[in-house]
Every structure is written in C-alpha cells, then in structure tokens.
Structure 1
Amino acid sequence: MGDILIPSLMVGDCSHSLCVRVSRLWEFLDPQDDSRLLHTDLVLLDEEGNSIHAQVYPPLCQQFSALLDEGGVYNLKYFLVRKANRFYKPVENCNMISFTKWTTVEVVLQIPPAFPVCTYNLTPIEQLQPRVDHKEYFMDVLGVVSVISHVSSLRTRGRQAEVMKRTVTISNARDTGPTVDVVLWGERATAFPVEHIHRDSGSSPQIIIFVGTLVRSYADNVSLSGGSSCKWYINAPVPEVNALRTSAETNHHPVIWDQGKAAAEGTVIAVPEHKKLKDIKYLRPFENKKKEWLVIVKILKIDRSWWYNACKKCLRTTKPHGDTYKCTNSSCDSIGSPTPRYKISLTAEDDTDTAEFIFFGRMAQRLIKKCGHPHLD
C-alpha cells in the first residue's frame, strides 16, 4: 500500500505514495459547448475509507484518462494538494488533489478484499427542501425506486441543442412518506439500467443510492438534478440499504413506467440499441437509413483530411471548373463558389471487427474538437 493516508496530506507538492481507489470518475464539459472538456473529476478513497476530491485539467486529461479507470486501485505520486473548491464538492474534505505533468500512476494488482469501493454522505429526503440551490456540496440520497420515466428530449435554457432527460422517483418506503424525483440528464439518462431495475422490482424492492446530485426546485416541487457527476449504487450491500429494505419489503410494489411524465416533459425518444460492428458492418444502407444503433469502439486512426469543398445546393463534393467549381453530383451539376464543410474519416474497432466511419458537418466539427485534430487551427 501507499506511504500515507488521505488525512495526512498537507497543502503543497506531495512526493509520497498514496494508494487510492478511483471510486468515481466523470468529465465536466462546457455547458455551452459539450465538445469542450473543462476538467476531469475523481473521488478517491484510501484503504481506510477516507475520501478526497481530485481534478485533472487540460491538456493532461487525455494523458490520465488512458491510465485511470473507475473502480481501479492505484499508487499516486508527485501530485499537488490544495485547498478544496468553494463550490460543488463531492466529499467532505478541506483539501483536494490536482494532477500535474509530473504525477505518476501505478496500477495496484493485488487489492485487499476489504478495500472500500464507494463513499457517500446521505441526506434524508425530508431534509432536502432547505438545501435547494445549495452549491457548496453535491447531495447524496437513498431511496426505493417507485416510478421511472422513458427518456425524453427537450431544450433547456442556455443550450443550443436538445438534451436527453429521464426521471426516477424514489421514496423512503413509507406509504405516507415523502418522495423525490431524481432527474438524470444526457448520458446519465441513457446509461441508467431501467430494464434491469424494472425486471428485478417484480420480486424485491430496488434500493438506490444516488451520489453527486444537486437540489433544485421547480413549481414549488423539490427535485434532484443528476448530471455527469451523478453516480448510483443499486442494492449495495451496506447497512443503510439493508435497513431500508427491511421496511420496504412489507409493502412492496413493482416499479411503474410513467409514460405520461416523459410525454409531458418533451418528445419521447427511443434509446438506440447496442450493437457490435459485426452486426451492422454489412447491412444494406438503403434499407436501414433511418435506424440508429449505439456502437462502442476504439479509434485506431483519424484521416489527415478534415474538410472538403461542398456544393451549396446538395452538399456533395465539388471539383474545379475553370475559375469556379462544379458539383460532382450528376443530378445537381451546380456551378459556383463552394462552401468549406467539415468531413472526417476514421478507422475504429471493437472486439468483433474493424470499420471506417465518416462524419460530416456539425458532427465532424464536434468530433475534431473533442479529439484535438492536429490540423484544426
């Protein structure tokens, strides 16, 4: 294990070895431009369960994202200890860690069975009201899932694009007790394991600890907002969950799908089905134009070319035509000045196959910014 524990950390440079588990890891993106990463955040636990918040800032994010996985245990050295942020602290600690270009990360392979996995500081549902718009700390709550909505799509203030949303209602298991809606946004909405929870709720209460949420109020109703910092632990083997299960089992009801709530909040959208590359690579494109799938891949190579001269009329490629340009689309044949348009081609793989992906326009622009394409000025 490490040389020191988290409570022994002092403000300043630290060259001691600190053995920690990455209990939580998330990326904080610019709310106005989700292709721009502002920082990567971590909650770290030592072998005694002490916790501390850590952050990695660009340009080091990509370097350390390749070295750190959520749930992994590592020995860290040569990092900076500083005073904790004033707002949005995920754990109670007056200090925090900043990774530097000198920070080293060593994977721990032999992990003691008792090494802690998660940390939380629960606030009872009935005590959330005084914490509306409380910014110093994220909120952690515990409850029995009673209602889940489908994913809906809506546009919020300050965002140019639509964002996905899902509402999960939890309670303290008493019929007359309070409930609260946990509103999950973006990737958190689609990643929530709804089918698993709905299925298992037929035989037993589904008890969840939500961490990293913020308390909000809308039309005098208190709710919890769960963005990228929000994580969940389902039926965790901890005393608080076991105690709530005892009271919930006496009056258990399966989870309800609330389609009306999603429809009222926005357009209900289907979450793309997860596929492997081998499943979609040889499908006929004209028979599957309007279908969407989720494919998780590793990028192997990005083409050096990242734009082309597009026809203003049909967006196809143009070619020089005297002192101007002509569209190569035979059904268009437009002649005139072209419009530069983003286009990026990349090769990617999963555990079943390799394929080439081509992105155009805004999607290509977002991908180029996210990957830091070397030819983008």
Structure 2
Amino acid sequence: MGDILIPSLMVGDCSRTLCLRVSRLWEFLDPQDDSRLLHTDLVLLDEEGNSIHAQIYPPLCQQFSALLDEGRIYNLKYFLVRKANRFYKPVENCNMISFTKWTTVEVILQIPPAFLVCTYNLTPIDQLQPRVDYKEYFTDVLGVVSVISQVSSVRTRGRQAEVMKRTVTISNARDTGPTVDVVLWGERATTFPAEQVHRDSGSSPQIIIFVGTLVRSYADNVSLSGGSSCKWYINEPVPEVNALRASAETNHHPVIWDQGKAAAESTVIAVPEHKKLKDIKYLHPFENKKKEWLVIVKVLKIDSSWWYNACKKCLRTTKPHGDTYKCTNISCDNIGSPTPRGTRYPSPLKTILTPPSLSSLDEWRSASLKKMWTPSSRLIHPVSFQEKLQIYWKSLSSGMLASLKAQLFIAVFPSK
C-alpha cells in the first residue's frame, strides 16, 4: 500500500508513494484535429475513497498509455502536485497531479477489497437548469433509462468532419417527473451498450450514473453533453442506485428505441450553407427566421489604420520626438516609449454577425461583430470592429434586415 493518502498531498514535488485506482481515463483531443492529442486525463481514488484529478501531457502520454488501464490499481511515485485547473474539474479537490518523466507506475495485482470503483457528485435532474454552461466542474447525474436513439452521423459547426452521436434519455422514475437527454458524442456514442441496456430493461429498470458531462441549453431545453470525459455506471451497487431502483420497480416500463430522435436533432446543428451576399441581401426576414448562412467576404478598404502608437498615460496618439515619442495631448505632454494599440491581422479573421431587432435600422448599421477566431499575432487591444466596417455594411442595411434569432457567419480576409 502507499505511504500517504490524497488529502496529505501538498503543492510541489512528491517522492512519496500513493496507492491509487484509475477510476476514469480519457484522452482530450484537439476539437479541430482529432489526430492531435492535447493531454490524457485521469480520476484517481485512494483506499479511503478520496479522489484527485491527474493529467499527462505530450510527449509523456504515449509512454504512460501502455502502463495505465482504467479500473486497475497502481503505486504512483515521483510526481508533481499543483493547483487544480480553474475549469472543467471532474472531482472536488483544490489540487491535482501532473505526471513527469521521472514518475514511476507499479501495478498492484492483489486488489484490496475496500477500494472503491467510482466517485461522483450527483446533481438532481430538476436542478440542472442553473448549471447551464457551468464551467468550473463537470456534472454528474443519476436516472432511469427511458429512451435510447440509434447512432447517427452529424457535422457540427465546430468541426468540418462528421462525428457520431447518440441520445440517451433518463428520468427520475416518476411518470410526472423531469427527464433529460444525455447526448453522447464520438467514441462515447458508439461504445455505449445500447442493445444490452434495451434487452435488460425488459425485466428490470436500468439505473445509470453519467459522470463528466456538461449542461447545455438549446431552445429552452436543457440537455447533457457527453464527450471524452463522460463515463457511465449501469446498475452500480451503490446506495443511490439501490434507492432509485426501489422507486422505479413499482412503475417499470422497458426502454424505448427512438429511431427519429438523432435524425431530427442533426438538422439543428448542421453546418450553415455557403451563400453569396447577393443571395441573402433581399431575403424576407419573417420567412427566414432561425436560418444561418456562411458568407466569405474580403475587406477592400478601411478608412483608418488598424493600430497606432499610444501614450501610456492617456492613450492618445504619440508622435516621434527625437529617439522617443511625445504625446499629442497638450494636457498630458508625456515623453517616452509608446504602447502599440489596436489589432494587427496577418491571418484571416472569422467573425459572427448577429443582427438586432427589425425595429432599429441604426442598431443594424452598428451590428455587433464578435471575434470567433484568434489571429496568430498577439491581441494588444480590442478594436471597435463595427466602426471599421460600418460603411461596408451600410450598403446592405436597406435590403438585408434579419430577425433577432438569425445569424450570419462571415469570414473576413483583410486585403494585402
């Protein structure tokens, strides 16, 4: 067994031995490139059930992937303890573990009987709404499986390639109680044992714990998104599952196969259609609500420069003054090195244009442009981009009035 337990860990190098079970293990890939591994994540448990998050970064991922298996117990030594990540923590612990090239992993063949298999912090289904887009922790839920969809292939806005998707609906076992859809993505969608759950539901309710999910909302409907961090425990012998099973058995119904759910949802998240400005300029706003198009434009001319040398005190323009710069503001008159302000864009800039309500043409002319992609150069200071393109969009405002819910995706390529 180990020398210490998880609560005894302190920030810094640790040469003591920890005896831990790998409760969860997953790989976090680049959302834009599935072939690029960003880091490997683990949830580790000690013999008393204490938990901690651990991460392995390249190039060490390949080294330890051959040594670690989910569910097995290891002696861990020579690792780094640091403060936990600010966002997307899988367990409640202010610290986390980082593997180093000196970290040693020794497998324990004789598993102590008291070692827990899983850890979770359940949120009731009827309390998910306040956690929509909550980033600090992943969300864990418990429910009875009521509906399962087939695996479908969809293409989302964030990816150019298609991704697999499956929806599992769970409830709190009461007919009048709330339900929630758990949307599984990629490998999680294909490995979910849907056939077995459907078959076993004929004789008993299937109680499932989903861990590592994110709460999302679309069209006022709350759902859970299960990516690589998501894992499930079906009919796990824990008190919460036993209690829910007791209430579900009195009104049990087999799981329903929903053939149309995935197909219907895929149309909602489909990639916007490519259009030209002339195609959308005079579209009827009332007949094209909630529609989206992808438009590529090129900025041919900008009236003012993208950046300027600013005074460090008052941020007004400076002018050369010998081998340094002098502020043009008479009340400031500061002399010294300036601070470049503005944004330089050596690369294409993708933006999203969200039109305002139909009642205000002035609001449309100064429509908000939100940056969706970070240029390769450093962002020194945010620029009022709508002012830069106001003249360009003014020509469109007379015919292209869209509803509040419509969105126009635009890729802007600055002229050389």
Measured in 2, the distance between the counterparts of 1:174 and 1:29 equals 38
* 2-structure distance, mates of 1:158, 1:143: 30
The equivalent of 2:127 in structure 1 is 127
Partner amino acid, structure 1, of 2:140: D
In 2: Cα distance, 1:94 partner to 1:244 partner: 31
1:260 corresponds to 2:260: yes
Secondary structure of residue in 2 paired with 1:130: helix
Query: Match of 2:216, as an amino acid?
Result: R
In structure 2, distance between residues paired with 1:255 and 1:215: 23
Q: Does 1:72 align with 2:83?
A: no
Q: What is the SS of the residue equivalent to 1:247?
A: helix
Deviation at 1:157, TM superposition (A): 1.1
Distance 1:228 1:173 in 2: 27
Mapped contact 1:152–1:265 kept (Cα < 8 A): no
> Counterparts in 2 of 1:11-50, with a 5 A limit?
11-50=11-50
Counterpart for residue 102 of structure 1: 102
SS of aligned partner of 1:133: coil
Q: What are the within-5 Å matches in structure 2 for residues 324-339 of structure 1? A: none
Q: Secondary structure at 1:147's aligned position in 2?
A: strand
* Equivalent AA in structure 1 for residue 12 of structure 2: G
Structure 1 residue 250, shift from structure 2 partner? 0.4
Structure 1 distance, partners of 2:15, 2:266, is 51
Which amino acid in structure 1 is aligned with residue 59 of structure 2?
Answer: P
Q: Report if the CA contact (8 A) 1:45-1:51 is conserved.
A: yes
Task: Report the secondary structure of 1:217's partner residue.
Answer: strand
Question: Over residues 254-282 of structure 1, what are the superposed CA-to-partner deviations in whole Å (9 max), with x where a residue is unaligned?
Answer: 00000111221349xxxxxxxxxxxxxxx
Q: 2:248, 2:111 → 1: CA distance?
A: 34
- What number of residue pairs does the alignment pair up? 267
CA distance in 1, matches of 2:148, 2:199: 12
List per-residue Cα deviations over 1:281-303 (Å, max 9, x = no partner). xxxxxxxxxxxxxxxxxxxxxxx
Structure 1 residue ranges, 4+ long, deviating more than 6 angstroms after superposition: none
Percent identical: 93
Where does the alignment leave 5 or more consecutive residues of structure 1 unmatched?
A: 268-377
Q: Distance in 2 between matches of 1:254 and 1:30?
A: 38
Matched, 1:215 2:215: yes
Q: TM-score, normalised by structure 2?
A: 0.64
Structure 2 residue identity aligned to 1:104: T
1:89-137 CA-to-partner distances (Å, cap 9, x unmatched) read 0000000000000000001111111111100000000000000000000
One-letter identity of the residue aligned with 2:204: S
> Which residues in structure 2 correspond to 1:32-181 (within 5 Å)?
32-181=32-181
Query: For residue 302 of structure 1, what is the aligned residue in structure 2?
Result: none
Question: Could you list the per-position Cα deviations for residues 179-220 of structure 1 after superposition, in whole angstroms to 9, with x for gaps in the alignment?
Answer: 000000000000000010000000000000000000000110
**Cα distance in 2 between the residues matched to 1:160 and 1:221:** 26
Q: For structure 2, list consecutive stretches of 5 or more residues without a partner in the other structure.
A: 268-416
| Residue of structure 1 equivalent to 2:2 | 2
Cα distance in 2, alignment partners of residues 216 and 238 from structure 1: 27
Partners of 1:52 and 1:91 within 8 A in 2: yes
TM-score, reference length from structure 1? 0.70
Q: In structure 2, how many angstroms separate the alpha carbons of the residues matched to 1:208 and 1:21?
A: 21
CA RMSD, Structure 1 to Structure 2 (Å): 0.8
What is the CA–CA distance in structure 2 between the aligned matches of 1:11 and 1:183, rounded to whole Å? 36
The corresponding residue for 2:291 is none
| Alpha-carbon distance in 2 for matches of 1:60, 1:260 | 43
